[in-house]
Structure 1
Amino acid sequence: MAESISTKYRKYILIFILAIAVVCLPIFIQKAPRIPHKLSQVAQRVEKFIRWDLNPGETVAVDRETKTSQLPKLRSNLATGPLQVSIDNPRYFVDSSTGKIVYLTGSHTWTNLQDAGNSDPPPKFDYPAHLNFLEANNHNFFRLWTWEQSRWTLETTDNNYWIEPSPYLRTDFGFANDGKPKYDLTKYNQAYFDRLRDRVAEAASQGFYVSVMLFDGWSVSKEKGGLNKNNPWRSHPFNAANNINAINGDLNHDNSGEETHTLAISKITTIQEAYIRRVIDTVNDFDNVLYEISNESQAGSHDWQYHLIDYIKNYEHSKPKQHPVGMTAEFPGGDNSMLFDSPADWISPLGDVNNRPVADGSKVILADTDHLCGICGDRSWVWQSFLRGENPIFMDVYNGAAYGQGAVDSNPKDSTWVSLRKNLGYTLTYANRMNLSAMKPYPDLASSGYCLANLVNSHAEYLVYVPSGGKVTVDFSAVQGEITGEWLNPDNGLITTGITTKGGDNRSFIAPFEGDAILYLKSS
């Protein structure tokens, strides 16, 4: 009897277990892919504990008598030759005349070439004031924006939003959708190219490198990234209603012109090539020029962009100077592999603004908040990007005037933006102080995970970022001899010197102020 009861209970227990399994199995399956990731995180924490917490080395304090001083502004000399990718450290460019490494960083805004706004003609952009603003923040680079349409943008319902000048000349034959005369795509508006040349020249005279944008994906789409408040394609020169040349960039008649950023229409490609030749003829003699094919053209535009990169390189081969050509992220739906596989000299990929990958030197990377997260970022991103071997640049609302192009509901004087701009300039100072041609990202040399270093026995250098402040441990096992250093407070730009220690082992340092911190160390 007892045996039969036991058998019966075993049956019920088995049924109960099976029921639980049936209920829990889907949950387990759903969680299963995360288990290796969680185990990896645990392993990393254990490894970090063993490497750093169990072996912090000697703690190095700052001399109490040390006084603070302001970090000086160090900018590159004026360009004396076009940029080339560095052979020694292909994460960066070099001045082809001097061989000096050139780290690029700075902020850019949407109306720095063409005027835009709620009037016809639109308000004039104060370009000299903008250059002074960039110089005051110790920047040395910006993207020079172009817009292909004359009226309407995806980001405002304002029907009176105008953009000028256009590269193409208006005619006396009929009226376009914007109410003005149609374009003749075989003739150019010299005012556009005169302005382009003047602005590149002014930038050169103040020590700025300029990326000349040739096309813009936000000018040809009726919807992008969920924005469709107005349709810029309606006023595009390649819209059949807007030119006298029988050019139609909307083959599928969906009231959008993404086809113009592909190789689908040979006549349009020919027109684009002619326009590119005109741009190159206008600015080829300048040393401070880079080219950008297009800002965020749609996914699938890469063959068109590859073609134009090759076209620029081939055309400039016959010119006195050859300049770097860049490709920025396709959006939406972009794939970074299309950038790394491209013939471009530099790229701006998509990604996580708070988790920058280590740049391996396969391309010069201009990490642009515009493609990472839009109107975003902070000074922590600046240092993470720089110490991972990137060249960080910032999409800046600047004066907030370009409400139809991105500067919506954002305060240009927000303390986050103010600090971000200043810290871009701080990175430029360190880039020019250090032997950047020999420095590479070594995340494993600092307990914080952010370190640029030049590991040589004489004049080794370490630049370490500590996002949470407090203590950081640095591995000096590859370096012998005396090491001196300083702390930078990124909140106010003050440096605190007085660090002295020796190499050969781990050493721990404690920031003498609250908040995130930068530690610069150099061996004698």
Structure 2
Amino acid sequence: MKVILAILILIVNTAVAQNIPVALNAQNPHYFTYQNKPIVLVTSGEHYGALLNLDFDFNKYLATLHKDGLNLTRLFTGALYVEPSGAFNIERNTLAPLPMKFICPYARSNNPGYANGGNKFDLTRWDAAYFTRLKKFMSMARDNNVIVELTFFCPFYDSTQWKLSPLNDANNINKIATGLERTDIYIVSSKTRAINALQAKFVSKVVTELNSYDNLMYEIINEPYFGGVTLEWQHFIATIIDSTEKHLPKKHLITQNIANDAALITKPDSLISVFNFHYALPVAAAENYYLNKVIGCNETGFAGIADSVYRLQAWQFMLAGGALFNNLDYSFVAGYEDGTFKYHKDQPGGGSIALRRQLAVLKDFITSLDFIHLKPDSSVIKDVSSADASVKILCNNGKEYAAHIKGENNLQLQLDLPSNNYKVVWIDPVSGNILSSTTIQAHDEPITLTAPAYKTDIALKIMKE
């Protein structure tokens, strides 16, 4: 009887654990847990318009991510922000729907005159079709084992986005933004009370509607370092998310976009669990590791269209302690939701079938490790044969090591390993193929490893035998 009871308790506890939204890992909060397993999030996803663009077939898109071995997508709500065609020189931009193909949370009124076709919006009424589409997206993502980072808002970079916003007085019948500039929309003040109330109502609505989904995180706003967004306003939105979920069964992670490239976070908001950077440098993960939270790179680009650029960025960032990497993939557009669109050479980023497969190699490499017991520790590196090589390494001292080396073929790497026998495996980051595998003996003194021949980069795995 005691054995049966113990088995039943185990079954119940396992079922409960699998019914919890993606969370920070309890053993190592620099990583995630989902469905009772530690995970990292790695993807190469479309330009965030899969929901708001009615021409985009997100069923095919999400199935493609799953087929390619990736597990994350970033999604804009379209509540206040949509882009015009040609923005940022993006060809076939999914965030720039064609006339009459934009859907947002607000119902259309009977008054004609929206800037991109159709009737103006009524900001007091929800569009039921929008929330149906949102839930279908979430369900399809769940079925394809894809985590959704849902981004509530985005600043207006210039007047062209503001002219298309449902909040602009010219595009709705409610006119609550009279006398305000585009840079006034994401502040908390007496003049924005009506807008802040609208924002809070929308956030609470979405959080309530999506509470049952476990494959979900909430990002407050994209790139708040543009367009006049204040930290006070960001905390206001985080508080709305948190307070709404206090009355709901499930609690989801809140993510915050910090900066481009890198920045030291000195005053973190206690409601934030994931701190994201765009075009992240490895130092963004390293210098903020002390926070004991996930550090992510949730947008790439503006570095050419070559696959190698973004593959190298992903490996260097994740092996520096990151846990989330989202390459912005312009091969996904309406009509090419399988990610096969051939964009022009001046596109502000890359993306391809080949790159998605290469990023899946990275994801599989990390998850092949006991990675929740790894942490970045460059002190184990005693010498590198070339000053031009960049080495990022994760360590579980004396048990397991994982490294990525960028640059300089014919490299020699001197590591300080405790006395043990170790299996040393060199891996091609492009294909995932093993380039060489050998066993070494360490004797409490630095040991020199010689990499096999490679081109741009190579990965290394060391395991105690």
Alignment TM class, shorter chain as reference: 0.7 to 0.9
Counterpart in the other structure of 1:3: none
Match of 2:277 among 342, 349, 354: 349
Instruction: Pick closer, same or farther for the CA change 1:314–1:104 going to 2, 3 Å.
Output: same
Counterpart in the other structure of 2:427: 488
- Offset at 1:408? 6.8
Cα contact 2:277–2:284 (8 A) shared by 1? no
Counterpart in the other structure of 2:396: 454
Matches within 5 A, 1:159-308: 161-162=98-99, 163-173=101-111, 175-217=113-155, 220-222=156-158, 231-248=160-177, 250-252=179-181, 257-264=182-189, 265-297=192-224, 298=226, 299-308=228-237
1:520 equivalent to 2:461? Answer: yes
Instruction: State how far apart, in whole Å, the 2-side matches of 1:280 and 1:193 are.
Output: 12
Instruction: State how far apart, in whole Å, the 2-side matches of 1:291 and 1:274 are.
Output: 15
Which amino acid in structure 2 is aligned with residue 517 of structure 1?
A: I
Cα contact 1:293–1:308 (8 A) shared by 2? yes
Cα contact 2:50–2:57 (8 A) shared by 1? no
Match of 1:103 among 33, 40, 61: 40
- Offset at 1:269? 1.0
Instruction: State how far apart, in whole Å, the 1-side matches of 2:244 and 2:274 are.
Output: 18
Counterpart in the other structure of 2:410: 470
- Offset at 1:192? 1.1
Counterpart in the other structure of 1:134: 65
Instruction: State how far apart, in whole Å, the 2-side matches of 1:160 and 1:372 are.
Output: 22
Match of 1:378 among 298, 305, 310: 310
Instruction: Pick closer, same or farther for the CA change 1:239–1:375 going to 2, 3 Å.
Output: farther
- Offset at 1:160? 8.6
Counterpart in the other structure of 2:23: 84
* CA distances 1:312-362 after superposition (whole Å, capped 9, x unpaired): 01111211110001111468x997648845632112125654765515141
Aligned-partner SS, 1:378: helix
Which amino acid in structure 2 is aligned with residue 513 of structure 1?
A: A
Instruction: Pick closer, same or farther for the CA change 1:80–1:476 going to 2, 3 Å.
Output: farther
Which amino acid in structure 2 is aligned with residue 94 of structure 1?
A: T
Instruction: State how far apart, in whole Å, the 2-side matches of 1:361 and 1:140 are.
Output: 26
1:394 equivalent to 2:335? Answer: no
* CA distances 1:390-434 after superposition (whole Å, capped 9, x unpaired): 12221111235699xxx973489x998555433321221122221
Instruction: State how far apart, in whole Å, the 2-side matches of 1:444 and 1:419 are.
Output: 34
Instruction: State how far apart, in whole Å, the 1-side matches of 2:435 and 2:419 are.
Output: 23
Instruction: State how far apart, in whole Å, the 2-side matches of 1:348 and 1:317 are.
Output: 24
Instruction: State how far apart, in whole Å, the 2-side matches of 1:441 and 1:433 are.
Output: 17
Which ranges in structure 2 are unaligned for 5 or more consecutive residues? 1-16, 337-341, 385-389
Matches within 5 A, 1:47-86: 80-86=19-25
Which amino acid in structure 1 is aligned with residue 186 of structure 2?
A: H
Aligned-partner SS, 1:311: helix
Cα contact 1:144–1:213 (8 A) shared by 2? yes
Cα contact 1:210–1:290 (8 A) shared by 2? yes
Aligned-partner SS, 1:508: strand
Aligned-partner SS, 1:214: strand
* CA distances 1:44-97 after superposition (whole Å, capped 9, x unpaired): xxxxxxxxxxxxxxxxxxxxxxxxxxxxxxxxxx964212223432211223x6
Instruction: State how far apart, in whole Å, the 2-side matches of 1:315 and 1:374 are.
Output: 42
Instruction: State how far apart, in whole Å, the 1-side matches of 2:358 and 2:267 are.
Output: 27
Instruction: State how far apart, in whole Å, the 2-side matches of 1:463 and 1:250 are.
Output: 56
**Structure 1 length as normaliser, TM-score?**
0.71
Instruction: State how far apart, in whole Å, the 1-side matches of 2:333 and 2:116 are.
Output: 25
Match of 1:442 among 371, 377, 380: 377
Aligned-partner SS, 1:367: strand
Aligned-partner SS, 2:391: coil
Instruction: State how far apart, in whole Å, the 1-side matches of 2:123 and 2:329 are.
Output: 32
Instruction: State how far apart, in whole Å, the 1-side matches of 2:413 and 2:451 are.
Output: 11
Counterpart in the other structure of 1:5: none
- Offset at 1:501? 0.8
Instruction: Pick closer, same or farther for the CA change 1:408–1:145 going to 2, 3 Å.
Output: farther
- Offset at 1:236? 1.4
Which ranges in structure 1 are unaligned for 5 or more consecutive residues? 1-77, 117-121, 224-230
Aligned-partner SS, 2:175: coil
Instruction: State how far apart, in whole Å, the 1-side matches of 2:357 and 2:143 are.
Output: 22
- Offset at 1:180? 2.5
1:315 equivalent to 2:244? Answer: yes
Instruction: State how far apart, in whole Å, the 1-side matches of 2:335 and 2:264 are.
Output: 28
Instruction: State how far apart, in whole Å, the 2-side matches of 1:334 and 1:302 are.
Output: 18
**Structure 2 length as normaliser, TM-score?**
0.79
- Offset at 1:371? 7.7
Aligned-partner SS, 2:41: coil
Cα contact 2:422–2:462 (8 A) shared by 1? yes
Identity %: 23
Which amino acid in structure 2 is aligned with residue 138 of structure 1?
A: G
Counterpart in the other structure of 2:446: 506
Q: Whose RCO is larger (CA < 8 A, sep 6+)?
A: 1
Instruction: State how far apart, in whole Å, the 2-side matches of 1:156 and 1:434 are.
Output: 40
RMSD over aligned CA atoms reads: 3.3
Cα contact 2:425–2:462 (8 A) shared by 1? yes
Cα contact 1:239–1:248 (8 A) shared by 2? yes
Find the structure with the greater CA-based Rg.
Answer: 1
